[in-house]
Structure 1
Amino acid sequence: MESKFWLMKSEPTAYSFDDLKSETDSTAEWDGVRNYQARNLLRDNIKSGDRVIFYHSNSKPPGAVGTAVVVRDGYPDFTAWDLDSDHPDPRSTEKKPIWYMVDIKADQTFDRVVSLKEIKATVALSDMVLVKNSRLSVQPVTKDEFQLIVSMGLS
């Protein structure tokens, strides 16, 4: 099956691309997503081998900073039933999980940030979910959009 492409957002003050790169094997759980639309993507659609644009939101400037690879399919986000975690949800239990996560591994660090302003100004990227529904933390990206953003980040 051919890989799919995604954009995942994180506030760099909470978890940055450098944080991901500093993890053992540059791999981490993509946990804490508490939006049903994004949860459904993590649970049902995102698969091992898929490619990810890592995007820093709420930064100056917000933008794409690198790529990652999904290394584990969706599984229950156990941080939801850990009341000491940063994002607990007492409605979610081990027997009836509500939230899901995947594992990702850092791949490429961009030479420069591809800013949201630049993405919005690029005609070939005007149909991106990021441009039309910028609040979603996990979103699909087409292969062409992925390749264009990577080429912009590495130039």
Structure 2
Amino acid sequence: MAYWLVKSEPSVWSWDQQVAKGAEGEAWTGVRNHTAKLNMMKMKKGDRAFFYHSNEGKEIVGIAAIVKEHYPDPTDKTEKFVCVDIAADKPLKKPVTLVAVKAEPKLAEMELLKQSRLSVQSVKPDEWKLVCKLGGV
């Protein structure tokens, strides 16, 4: 299993909206960055992803599961980009803020800090475990 982090502005698509989609999940569309696209192409069914509220909140609020591997993004008229389907798995008991991530020396190399604008990022297993611990899961 691989681990990821996906970002969304809560005013555009929030954790609560993701939860409301149930086990079938929702297509993660609209990604228009080639590095993020390549990350999505590596995602496998069953992988897990942190759900991060960007801009508003700036915190990891939940864990999502990849429920369908990459396919052409139906919102992309250029036909260059892909999407995956994700479903909410569980909320973090305590959201892990960007401030908390920055304050933890063991997370200093996390892509969330190194590539802060990237909307789909990989997460190393040791980072995953630590963030889950900080989030109470």
TM-score, normalising length: structure 2: 0.95
Q: Deviations over 1:6-56 (max 9, x none)?
A: 00000000001110000143611111001111011112x111111100000
Q: Which runs of 4+ in 1 moved over 6 A?
A: none
Larger radius of gyration: 1
State the one-letter code of the partner of 2:93. D
Give the Å deviation of 1:154: 1.6
Question: Which secondary structure does the structure 1 equivalent of 2:46 belong to?
Answer: coil
Q: Which residue of structure 2 aligns with residue 84 of structure 1?
A: none
Unmatched 5+ residue regions in structure 2?
none
Instruction: Tell me if the contact between 2:25 and 2:85 (Cα under 8 Å) persists in the aligned partners.
Output: yes
Which of 63, 70, 74 is the equivalent residue of 1:78? 74
Return 5+ residue gaps in structure 1 as ranges: 82-91
- Which runs of structure 2 are paired with 1:72-151 in the superposition (5 Å)? 72-81=68-77, 92=78, 97-151=79-133
Q: Which moved more, 1:105-114 or 1:22-31?
A: 22-31
State the Cα deviation string for residues 95-116 of structure 1 (Å, max 9, x = none). xx20100011101101221000
CA–CA distance in structure 1, aligned partners of residues 84 and 104 of structure 2: 30
- When the two structures are superposed, what TM-score results if normalisation uses the length of structure 1? 0.84
Q: Which amino acid aligns with 2:66?
A: V
Identity %: 40
Alpha-carbon distance in structure 2 between the residues aligned to 1:33 and 1:41: 11
RMSD over aligned Cα atoms: 1.2
